[in-house]
Structure 1
Amino acid sequence: MESSADNATVYQTIRVTAPESPVAALADVEAWKARKTHPSMLFAGGPVFGVARESPDGGWVLQPYFSGLAPQDARDGLGSYFRRVAMEAAEGGDPRRAAEYQAAGELLDWEALNDLTVCGCRYRVVRAERFIRMGPDGPEPPRITDPDPSEPGESHEGLDPAAGFVIDPYDPTGVSEGILKAELLAALRKHGTVPRDVRDDSGTAAATHPGGVLLPAAFMTAEREGGQWRPGSSGTAATPQSARDGLAMQLRVMVPWQRDLTTEQRCVYNDAADRLDAERCDELDVAGRHFRIVRVERLVRVGPDGPESPRPSDPDPVPPVMVQDRELREQGVLREEEDGAEEPDESTQKFLRLFDEERRRRESLRRH
């Protein structure tokens, strides 16, 4: 990473205070230790996107699951949220509120909007840059202070630790987090590592959104190959267990499907997934492959009007759902009525069998 020394503004003021609780104090100590064991900070792929709503008390409050890989992922989630609120309002006898939220959900089906006000509440699609710490032994694993409440296989039912988090650059922070925030706010992509428009947008954002807030950490899977580490997927998970559950699904379903494994070969991966569930480990060896659950830092830039929205250079390949539907019908890919659904090909059928097998395995565990 490179650094950019922009003119300081009020949004770049970082208030550092003593931790208010023993847990916060321990977290700050762990963060300081990580600076020594994993001293390098690297960009962790592209940005992620989520939704925040403006609070009348100041700041912006995060909605659950800040993990979209494209802005449209966050818009789709926001549209679903609007419909849910509309239904609740209708059931609660508030037809005006129900109609306004329903209309907002339908609007997002057609328009790629990043900022909406509904019933006096402002909502925004928000962008966060991702980073990982690297040390001599590779990327940083989860810390003992990272929330990890869910049981194996149950993380999809757990709460997102970042839900309800308030994006406010004026909130005080610990010493270690304050130093990290200052470092990441100055970070720019190195020349030649990204297209020019991506780097130019990064410089523009440093001027328009000079402040920043670190979100609660997210997690992902990385695999070591030939001495190098690469991400197991481009997405991030809300908790370490959610990342482990994703890796277990990969071992039980995706790898056997992608590599067309025999029953005997599948047993090796199934046994590794069982070990991952039983031990809740963050390192796993299987069939000559080495995986690690990795901790991911997320930084949201903040300017005079709040948190940063998607940048022009951020990939956003899929249009809103109704626009996509119209385009597919115009291309003849979709028709109003089909005489019958086509039989899935052999590869798809195999994937569905593996997925259904895993679903039934988990349901059996819940019953016992």
Structure 2
Amino acid sequence: MNSMRCPRCKNEDPRLFGYDNGVYYCRRCISFSRVNIGDSILPCTLSKKVWKEKPKLDYELTDAQKEASSKALSYLKQGKDVFVYAATGAGKTEITFESICYYLAFGKKVAFAISRRQVVLEIAQRLRKAFKGLSVVEVAQDYTSITDGDLIVCTMHQLYRYPYGFDLLILDEVDAFPYAGNQLLEQIVQLSCKGQKMYLSATPSKEILLQIQQKKMEMVELFVRPHGHPLIIPKVIQAALWRQVLILICFCRGCKKENKQVLVFVPRRNDCLWMTILLNFFVKTKGVHSQTEDKDQILEDYRQKKIDVLVCTTLLERGITIPSVQVAVFEGQHAVYTAASLIQIFGRIGRSMKDPSGKGICLCQYASSSIRECVRILKQMNASV
């Protein structure tokens, strides 16, 4: 038993092997598919296409974006992995386009992997618009009937389908659940990439910073948003729970008068339910959490401005981009809000070129270390520009 090793997830723990009809198999990664010990993981078979065109953008990249894009590609050409440390709303997705084009021009396979299904769908739409003429496929929950295309956008979990599949693997939200700190998913990622990896995040982990320090990975920074305006620093308001509710009602009503939509973040699913009912007495409100069945339709209605306030859990802390949105966090001291998640949450504000300002409030019983760290990092990013 001690000499066994899973060819996929590299598990060597004897307690995580099963035995069935004379064959040992790995239980650690069986949720993806069964792997018998002694079997080889064969490379997946994917289509390849040489594409030498340029992406279609509705705008020109800023000088800062062009510099970051060029620098990232130069490291990839040297065979190095790259970490793009970019402020929320700085356009980190767009600065991957030059690298994507370079790999496609040589018939190489490229994938974009993201932690959350909702963001997969949004990124796929953006790539489909920019890379016209290419088949862009999303592979996530409820989207697994087609798993190959010219560009693949998938959740981290779906990478198990693609052993040794990608020459360039772009990994967004590497600091987010469920990827962050998940050694099993990290092994699935490693197995799927036979070339270089480009990591994207506004909040690098200690492990990534250590790899950069050890020169195992290069870093490219981009803290200025395309419109040049600073990141929004949230107003931290310490108050008892009942006062937080009153402040929140006044905040939402005030934003409604200014014709601004609001995202209200709550720490628990139950909070999402009662908060939605309460706020709906004052402004048109809907709620979204992980078990909401019609969340795609609710999000579309929100984008179409059929809803004034959207109450949500940290499910929507990333990826969603709504012009002129204002943000409120309820019970900000709760443990579910890490510094990284709060940076992402308040990063929803001020992303629009036409409306780069906005308001964010963090309602809390006390200013936790995560709240203080969020404010510190946002101020530091603004000072670095």
Same fold, judged at TM 0.5 (above):
no
TM (norm. structure 1) is 0.26
Higher percent of residues as helix = 1
Higher relative contact order, chain-length normalized (CA < 8 Å, sep 6+):
1
Give the TM-score normalised by the residue count of structure 2: 0.25
